[in-house]
A and B are shown apart, each in its own frame.
Chain A
Amino acid sequence: GDSVTQTEGLVTVTEGLPVKLNCTYQTTYLTIAFFWYVQYLNEAPQVLLKSSTDNKRTEHQGFHATLHKSSSSFHLQKSSAQLSDSALYYCALNTGYQNFYFGKGTSLTVIP
């Protein structure tokens, strides 16, 4: 079946250093959309990035991700982590007709 896998449940990075959160997926659908959601403490998840185009880089708020259908991946990266980036991050797969699959989440902590 369709699924999303996020590795590294807890990630700690020093402020100013790069960060990469991994996300891979499994699906039989050829046309898909992928999302990264961010959830700050005691708040609802909100969309950070979205992509449906293979091999096209998407950027927002200093984060970027590229959907690679060849490797079934949509990793989230940032070149310089900020203290305010500390949050939960979820990747989510949309296989069409609003059918969403969420990963289990990665908790990012940025330390001074």
Chain B
Amino acid sequence: EAGVTQSPRYAVLQEGQAVSFWCDPISGHDTLYWYQQPRDQGPQLLVYFRDEAVIDNSQLPSDRFSAVRPKGTNSTLKIQSAKQGDTATYLCASSSDWGNYAEQFFGPGTRLTVL
């Protein structure tokens, strides 16, 4: 069974540029998460979906970040105008068994550097 895949693996931007990250969860997993992991810190939840619906995006900086999962499978996270403070690894994770305390499976992440 294929794991969670993400692309690109690395991105380097100037401040003000836009970037999109793509995630393909494990087949059949209904829940998909996006985390931001600054260097030497734990994953910090940005947004998560059940199928195509946003369950919680309260930690997503809505003025510059957006996330969609239109068909309840793949997902895209976009930063409209990147800032140096956005430098981090962006992790996607998926899980199944909604309501059943299932574990999350993480993708390899996209390492973003904003100069």
**A residues at B contact (CB < 8 Å):** 31-33, 35, 43-47, 50, 52, 90, 92, 94, 96-100, 102-105, 107
Stretch of B14-22, B67-75, B78-86, B95-103 on the interface side: B95-103
B25 in the interface (beta carbon within 8 A): no
Are the CB atoms of A98 and B98 closer together than 8 Å?
yes
**B residues at A contact (CB < 8 Å):** 4, 31, 33, 40-45, 48, 50, 55-56, 91, 95, 98-99, 101-109
The 10 closest A-B pairs by CB, nearest first: A33-B101, A44-B106, A105-B42, A102-B42, A104-B42, A98-B31, A47-B103, A45-B106, A94-B101, A102-B43
In the assembled complex, how far is the CB of residue B23 from the closest CB belonging to chain A, in whole angstroms? Answer: 12
Are the CB atoms of B91 and A44 closer together than 8 Å?
yes
Residues of chain B contacted by A35 (CB below 8 angstroms): 103
Complex Cα gap A19–B27 (Å): 37
In the assembled complex, how far is the CB of residue A52 from the closest CB belonging to chain B, in whole angstroms? Answer: 6
Do A104 and B50 contact each other (CB < 8 Å), given the known contacts A35-B103, A94-B101, A98-B102?
Answer: no
A-B Cβ contacts below 8 A, count: 53
Residues of chain B contacted by A90 (CB below 8 angstroms): 42-43
Are the CB atoms of A50 and B103 closer together than 8 Å?
yes
In the assembled complex, how far is the CB of residue A67 from the closest CB belonging to chain B, in whole angstroms? Answer: 12
Task: Jot down 5 A-B pairs with beta carbons below 8 A, ordered by A.
Answer: A44-B106, A98-B48, A98-B102, A100-B45, A104-B42
In the assembled complex, how far is the CB of residue B7 from the closest CB belonging to chain A, in whole angstroms? Answer: 14
Complex Cα gap A77–B84 (Å): 38
In the assembled complex, how far is the CB of residue A29 from the closest CB belonging to chain B, in whole angstroms? Answer: 11
Complex Cα gap A99–B59 (Å): 13
Complex Cα gap A44–B104 (Å): 11
Are the CB atoms of A100 and B104 closer together than 8 Å?
yes
Do A103 and B42 contact each other (CB < 8 Å), given the known contacts A44-B91, A44-B106, A44-B109?
Answer: yes
Complex Cα gap A94–B31 (Å): 13
